[in-house]
Chains A and B, each alone.
Chain A
Amino acid sequence: MISRRVVIAAGAAAALGVAGPALAQGAVADKWRWLTFLVFGAIIGVTMFVTYLAAKRVKSAADFYTAGGGVSGLQNGWAIAGDYLSAASFLGIAGLISIWGYDGFMYSVGWLVAYITVLLVIAEPCRNIGKYTLSDILAYRNNPRATRIVGAISVITVSTFYLTAQMVGGGVLVKTLIGIDYEISVVAVGVLMLAYVLFGGMVATTWVQIIKAVLLVTASIVLVIMVWMQYGFFGDFLSNVVADPKVQARVAQILGDTARNMTPAELGQRFLEPGLLFRAPIDQISLGMALVFGTAGLPHILMRFFTVPTAKAARVSVLWAMAIIGGFYVLTLFLGMGSAMKVGADQIRAVDPGGNMAAPLLAQALGGGADSLLGNFMLAFVAAVAFATIVAVVAGLVLAAASAMAHDLWVGVIRSEHVSPQEQVKAARIATVIVGAMAIAIGIAAKGQNVAHLVALAFAVAASANFPCVLLTLYWKRCNTGGIVAGMIVGTFTAIGLVLVSPNMTYPKAVKAAAQKVVEGAPARVAKLQSDLAAATDPAAKAKLEGALAGADKDLAAAKVNLDRFKNDETSLVGLEKPLFELRNPGLISIPLGFLAVILGSLLYRDKRAEDMWDELYARQNTGLLVAKAAAH
Chain B
Amino acid sequence: MAAAAYDWRAIVADPRFQDLHRKKTVFLWGLMVFSVVFYFLLPVGAAYFQDLFRIKVFGPVNVGLLFALGEFVVAWAIAFIYARRANVEFDANAAEIVAEFEKRYGSRS
Partners in one complex: yes
B-binding residues in A (CB < 8 A): 102-103, 105-106, 109-110, 112-113, 115-117, 119-121, 234-235, 238-239, 241-242, 268-269, 272-275, 278, 281, 284-285, 288, 292, 312, 315, 318-319, 322-323, 326, 329-330, 615-616, 618-619, 622-626, 628-629, 633
From A115, A242, A616, contact of B6 by CB (8 A): A616
When A330-B72, A625-B101 are in contact, do A238 and B32 touch as well, CB less than 8 Å?
no
Given A120-B31, A622-B17, A628-B108, the answer on whether A615 and B12 have CB atoms closer than 8 Å is: yes
A288, B43: Cβ atoms closer than 8 Å: yes
- Nearest chain-A residue to B38 (Cβ)? A113
How far is it, in angstroms, between the C-alpha of A438 and the C-alpha of B83 when the chains are bound?
41
A-facing mask of B67-103, CB < 8 A → 1, else 0?
A: 0110110011011001100110001001001100110
Q: A116-B75, A623-B94 are in contact. List 12 more A-B contacts (CB 8 A).
A: A106-B43, A109-B72, A115-B79, A120-B35, A269-B56, A275-B50, A284-B43, A284-B47, A285-B40, A326-B75, A625-B97, A633-B109
> Would you give the shortest CB distance from B19 to chain A, in whole angstroms?
11
Q: Is the CB of A625 within 8 A of B86?
A: no
Contact of A238 among B8, B60, B75 (CB under 8 A): B60
Which residues of chain B are within 8 angstroms of A312 by Cβ–Cβ distance?
87, 91
Asked if A626 and B3 make an inter-chain contact with CB atoms under 8 angstroms apart, the answer reads yes
Q: In the docked arrangement, what's the CA distance between A288 and B40, Å?
A: 8
Residues of B in contact with A (beta carbons under 8 Å apart): 3, 6, 8-9, 11-12, 17, 20-21, 24, 28, 31-32, 35-36, 39-40, 42-44, 46-48, 50, 53-54, 56, 58-62, 64-65, 68-69, 71-72, 75-76, 78-79, 82-83, 86-87, 91, 94, 97-98, 101-102, 107-109
Q: How far is the CB of A115 from chain B (nearest CB, A)?
A: 7
User: Known: A273-B54, A278-B46. Is A625-B72 also a contact (CB below 8 A)?
Assistant: no
Distance of B97 from chain A, by nearest CB (Å): 5
Contact of B39 with A109 in the complex, beta carbons under 8 Å = yes
A622 B21 Cβ-Cβ under 8 A: yes
Residue of A nearest to B56 (CB): A269
Q: Across the interface, do B59 and A102 meet the contact criterion of CB distance under 8 Å? A: no
Chief secondary structure at chain B's binding surface = helix
Contact present for A624 and B54 (CB under 8 Å) = no
Q: Which residues of B contact A239 (CB under 8 A)?
A: 59-60
Whether the Cβ atoms of B79 and A119 lie closer than 8 Å is yes
Provide a sorted-by-A list of 28 A–B residue pairs whose CB atoms are within 8 angstroms: A102-B46, A102-B68, A103-B46, A109-B42, A112-B75, A113-B39, A117-B35, A120-B82, A238-B59, A238-B60, A238-B61, A272-B60, A273-B54, A274-B50, A278-B46, A292-B36, A315-B83, A319-B79, A322-B79, A326-B75, A330-B69, A330-B72, A623-B11, A623-B97, A625-B6, A625-B102, A628-B108, A629-B3
- In the assembled complex, the CB of B13 is this many whole angstroms from the nearest CB of chain A, namely 8
Number of interchain pairs (Cβ within 8 Å): 160
CB of A455, distance to nearest CB on chain B (Å)? 18
Specify which chain B residues have a CB less than 8 angstroms from the CB of A326 in the assembled complex: 72, 75-76
A269 to B59, CA, bound (A): 10
Q: Given A618-B12, A619-B8, is A102 in contact with B65 using a C-beta cutoff of 8 Å?
A: yes
Which residues in B have their C-beta under 8 angstroms from that of A113? 35, 39, 71, 75
The reply to whether A628 and B8 contact each other, CB–CB distance below 8 Å, is no
How far is the CB of A119 from the nearest CB of chain B, in Å? 6
Known: A112-B72, A121-B28, A615-B11. A274 touches B46 (CB 8 A): yes
Bound CA span A615–B69, Å: 42
In the assembled complex, which residues on chain A have CB atoms less than 8 Å from the CB atom of B76?
322-323, 326
Complexed CA–CA distance, A416 and B73 (Å):
48
CB B6 to nearest CB in A, in angstroms, measures 7
Chain B residue with minimal CB distance to A273? B54
- Which 3 pairs across A and B sit closest by C-beta, in order of nearness? A281-B47, A274-B46, A615-B8
Residues of B near A117 (CB, < 8 A) are: 32, 35-36
Which residues from B are CB-within-8-Å of A323? 76
Pairwise interchain contact B39-A275, C-beta atoms closer than 8 A: no
Instruction: Known contacts A113-B35, A616-B8, A625-B102; decide if A120 and B60 are in contact (CB<8 Å).
Output: no
- Asked whether, in the complex, the Cβ of B60 is within 8 Å of the Cβ of A622, the reply is no
How long is the Cα–Cα vector from A281 to B91 in the complex, in angstroms?
41
The CA of A241 and the CA of B61, in the complex, are separated in Å by 11
Give bound CA distance, A105 to B44, whole Å.
15
Which of B17, B24, B39, B59 has most chain A Cβ within 10 Å? B39
Q: How far is the CA of A295 from the CA of B32 in the complex (A)?
A: 15
Chain B residue with the shortest CB-CB distance to A629? B109
Interface centre among B17, B24, B31, B60 (most CB of A within 10 A): B60
Interchain nearest-CB distance for A104 vs B (Å)? 11
Name the CB-closest residue of B to A237: B60
Q: Is the CB of A272 within 8 A of B35?
A: no
Complex: chain A residue closest to B30, CB-CB: A120
Question: Quick check: B46 and A275 within 8 Å, CB to CB?
Answer: yes
Of chain B, the residue at the smallest CB distance from A318 is B79
A274 to B41, CA, bound (A): 13
Q: Is the CB of A116 within 8 A of B46?
A: no
Smallest CB gap from A274: residue in B: B46
CA A152 to CA B51, docked complex, whole Å: 47
Contact of B11 among A278, A329, A619 (CB under 8 A): A619
CA–CA, A434 and B43, complex, Å: 41
In chain A, what residue has the closest Cβ to B32?
A120
With a cutoff of 8 Å between Cβ atoms, the chain B residues found around residue A112 in the complex are 71-72, 75
Residues of B within 8 A of A121 (CB): 28, 32
A244 CB to closest chain B CB (Å) equals: 11
